[in-house]
Structure 1
């Protein structure tokens, strides 16, 4: 009788251990002007849904430091991600919010032999930003029309938000001056295009999350790789030049069925990282 109880207890412990081991580590990158603590709620959602999951909200470039050049941030986040992903042969998931999604998008391009399984971009300006938002209160009210004057020069490209500012009325200046977004999205030719594409295509799933009531990401479809034309009409992802030419692998991922687009109305920008409905509808299933 005693041996039977011991065997049953051992089996339960083994099953419990196996269940927690089945979940891949989750690495979280925060957004602009915030830090790792801002991602506490979504961390709790993950741990409640998948007990035993190793969840790490990277504590780098918090607050005002998030305005530092994105290539500098990418390098430091890359080193932190490598430490975590190298601890497992099964890979890890990358969940990145707002500006963090642009950072993660870049590091997946420049990080060879990474083993990131799902890249989840949560309300991120993946195709750029063009519009006044509460996050940019430090600038004049004429921001939308005049931001290019700040951003499209050598000094401006040292400011993170300028590195994904995409003015559809000054596209020639964007393509000439952009040293970040135009490069990672293949809109501007460079010597590493092929290698970056190969690196990015190592992911198994790309999850794009956004919604029409975001209030910060402009246009909100940028979170789904859509963006404005020169007359500010939104051009959806599949009609974007970088998709049609498949320059960084987005079309390839889509055709193989590995792009999930999740539209969540009624959610304001910062609530995307603390909404249980967003987590259950758009994120939970991709973190196994």
Structure 2
């Protein structure tokens, strides 16, 4: 099974969720063994999407260094991972990846336009060998060995529009596009007002998030799925775990997980080499795994 990149470069523009400013984005092909590289053209910052480069996980997954950062990378990374892309350069001219409609759908459209090209180098998989869990009170995220990757998520919000939701998602590109990619980020009106007082969420609107007051959803069009909230949590998790640096073979389970717990999980996995094995697939297994990205 071969590594992949984009067949051609594609560009777009959107609003940054937190600063509310227009952000230009360009997705470019990269050669084999380059990985996923973000580049901020306004300050000349180049940074790989790896756990050691994560600098903040409070409101989104943020990578960078002591001087500059790139925020809200998880929705784009979720689509890149689902499309099986190993090598890509993501160029933005500001401190955020544009939020688009709050989901991964726009990024899927960009990747469809770019197309995928196979490279000569062999794709490497990170195979989970034992159960690893990270917890915080009653919240936890966990990976365990599996031959067919699944994402299992449960949330429980004290809000009439959310409540308790569970979803199990068998990972494949097709399933991602149909079941996960369109699920939007969500928040509460009281939190948006608080964040804006701190100079954050300035680009947030009913066009790029599901917003709720104390009793109801404010978006006039309603939800895209009856359980859109938990589906978006899976979308986030796929993007966050893509920072492992290779497609991983294992099951992911979470109860009320977060960007921070996902980040701590990636670090816990990589901390002990006995947790995983980097391997290539036999010809027979490679054909089977390629169907996941068909």
TM-score computed with the length of structure 1 as normaliser:
0.26
- Decide which structure has greater strand share: 2
Q: Which has the larger radius of gyration?
A: 1
Higher helix share: 1
